[in-house]
Amino acid sequence: MVNDKNAFLLYLLTCAILGLLFIRSIPAYGNENTTYQKERIIVGGDFDYKPFSYLDEDGEAKGFDVDILKHIAQKYNLELEFRLTDWDKALESLHKGEVDMLISVLYTEQRDAIYDFTIPYNEDYYEIFIRKDAEVRVISDLLQKQIIALEGDASVSMFLKPLGFIDNTILVNSLPEAIRLLSQGEGDAVLAPYSIGMQAIRDLRIRNVKVVGPSIMPILYRFAVKKGDSQLLSLLNDGIDHVKVSGKKEELLKNWDLHRRDEVSLRKVIRYMGIGLIPLILTIALLILWTKTLRRSVADQTRILREKTAKLQELNATKDKLFFVIAHDLKTPFNSILGLSELLLSDNYKYDSARSEKLLRCIHSSAKNTLSLTDNLLSWAKSQTGQMKFEPEQLRLKEIVEEVKSIVDTFATVKNISVDYTQIPDINIYADVNMLKSILNNLISNAIKFSHSNGKVSISAKTGENHVEIIVSDNGVGMDDETKKKLFHIASGSTKGTADEEGSGLGLILCKEFVEKHGGNIRVESEVGEGSSFHFTIPQENKPGSYN
């Protein structure tokens, strides 16, 4: 008994010692005594990104972002070594482990796979810089224009490539150099952060360059570290919090002339931000309501007809697809809105005249990008629960096609794609106007999505015995036989377009359901590299048996 008691006490003592050793092994963050494992932190960044980071005449690192990092280093007793280079080389140096961190970095999904990012510590906006005599005013004017951008810059992956502008882009190793080239007659426009471009204009004494149009997108500057370096990442996040809360950021800002565009009140920012959120909130509420209705329906069917397991599995697959679409397609606009909210919450004292015009355009863009998804989700949810009324009437086909074309024209113009409907005869059809518009909108939008720049989309129709066959064709990427088999099914998923456009995969499912509601059918003809042609039939007259 004594031996058992001694053994138990020895066990407790051993556990206590091991526990103390484990606690002492955990690194401490967030106080002045925190030490980093390395004696010196090597910092990479852009050598010519004034006023945020640059090398002066003596080769010493200067800039607002440099000052913030130096303050954090002083607080935590860190030694810094700056190695500012061309920006694309700076990104590569962190990837290769030649430096420990980067300053003045923008978050992108591609970079997130390689680096870890801190919370934001500063913000700006991408703008369009042009010569004063240039005929460029808004984004759409950049089509067929020559753009100058920074090699490795976030604007390349976030803006130029998705919109198909990259083929007409000149890449340089310095944004001030881009502004100088523009002023001397090279290219038609420069995409650059407002502060960088205006600083270059002032330093180089340029008089023939100006900013036009609304801001393209907001910038949230962060630090980046090597993937998995959680100790340095945590230390930097604590330091950024300290800089903001202590008022040191505002003190450091007084040393630098950070250019800002015209600003308006915080009250308007919050008001329009709320307007941008309303469609998303309503969509989620309706989807939750639909999900509850679906679950009750599934439960009832299970109790009444247990043998219909195949049908239940199909309904469950439908529900899973719905949640996947919500989680995937609504993530991007929510991230954008949350990022802007973080700025307003953390730095609200700065926004006596906040830059609401730019914030509002970002919020408006996020809401607009979800509009098509919202329409399809709501239409699909209503059709699944029997809440969508079917009300056919006599319609002029050409008028409906013209109305739908006016909606998709903006999207087609950005990709420089022509939409032709001259082959539509002047005929009547008998159809539900909302369902027909949804069918045409989805098919024409898909044709534009999978067409290359300068492509062509055609809409035609021909009459049959008791119906009209409508054809939407394109000369885009086409599809193979395996892909064609999966079309019009809930599990088919979505494919990115030629400019990386996202989709939910619900559009063709809606088309099939609405066409069949009219008693018609839909099919596709396509070859890889030769384009696709979608055919569907609609009754021409209201005759008995025309509809299911």
* Residue 315: predicted pLDDT: 59
Specify whether 378 is located in the same domain as 295.
yes
CA angle 457, 461, 462 (to 5 degrees): 145
Rounded Cα distance, 284 and 321, in Å:
15
* Residue 333: predicted pLDDT: 52
Q: Is residue 13 part of a domain?
A: no
Q: Is residue 233 part of a domain?
A: yes
Specify whether 309 is located in the same domain as 419.
no
Question: Do the beta carbons of residue 184 and residue 205 sit within 8 Å?
Answer: no
The last residue of a domain, from among 240, 261, 282? 261
Specify whether 397 is located in the same domain as 300.
no
Specify whether 204 is located in the same domain as 141.
yes
Specify whether 318 is located in the same domain as 432.
no
Q: Where are the beta strands (DSSP E) in 57-208?
A: 61-62, 80-85, 101-106, 115-117, 122-131, 147-150, 169-172, 189-193
* Residue 435: predicted pLDDT: 87
Q: Is residue 126 part of a domain?
A: yes
* Residue 445: predicted pLDDT: 86
Rounded Cα distance, 473 and 487, in Å:
16
Q: Is residue 23 part of a domain?
A: no
* Residue 544: predicted pLDDT: 46
- CATH classification at residue 467: 3.30.565.10
* Residue 51: predicted pLDDT: 93
* Residue 235: predicted pLDDT: 92
Q: Is residue 22 part of a domain?
A: no
Q: Which residue has the tokens 């005759």?
A: 543
Instruction: Provide the domain limits for residue 478.
Output: 393-539
Closest by CA position to 387, among listed 293, 275, 280: 293
* Residue 507: predicted pLDDT: 77
Specify whether 351 is located in the same domain as 493.
no
- CATH classification at residue 155: 3.40.190.10
Specify whether 149 is located in the same domain as 74.
yes
Specify whether 216 is located in the same domain as 316.
no
Specify whether 253 is located in the same domain as 314.
no
The last residue of a domain, from among 211, 246, 261? 261
Long-range contacts of 461-464 (CB under 8 A, 24+ apart): 461/397, 461/423, 461/424, 461/425, 461/427, 462/425, 463/425, 463/427, 463/540, 464/537, 464/540
Residue type (1 letter), 484? K
The last residue of a domain, from among 357, 384, 411? 384
Whether the ω angle into residue 51 lies within 30 degrees of 0, i.e. cis, is yes
Specify whether 273 is located in the same domain as 247.
no
Q: Is residue 401 part of a domain?
A: yes
Specify whether 248 is located in the same domain as 145.
yes
Cα separations in angstroms, 224 against 152, 193, 229, 234: 15, 19, 10, 11
What is the domain count for the chain? 3
Specify whether 244 is located in the same domain as 283.
no
* Residue 369: predicted pLDDT: 47
* Residue 224: predicted pLDDT: 96
Residue 434, burial from CB neighbour count under 10 angstroms (0-12, 13-18, 19+): middle
Question: Do the beta carbons of residue 95 and residue 114 sit within 8 Å?
Answer: yes
Q: Is residue 348 part of a domain?
A: yes
Closest by CA position to 32, among listed 193, 323, 235: 235
Q: Is residue 502 part of a domain?
A: yes
pLDDT less than 50: residues of the chain: 1-5, 7-12, 14-33, 263-269, 272, 328, 332, 354, 356, 360, 363-366, 368-369, 544-548
Q: Where are the beta strands (DSSP E) in 300-357?
A: none
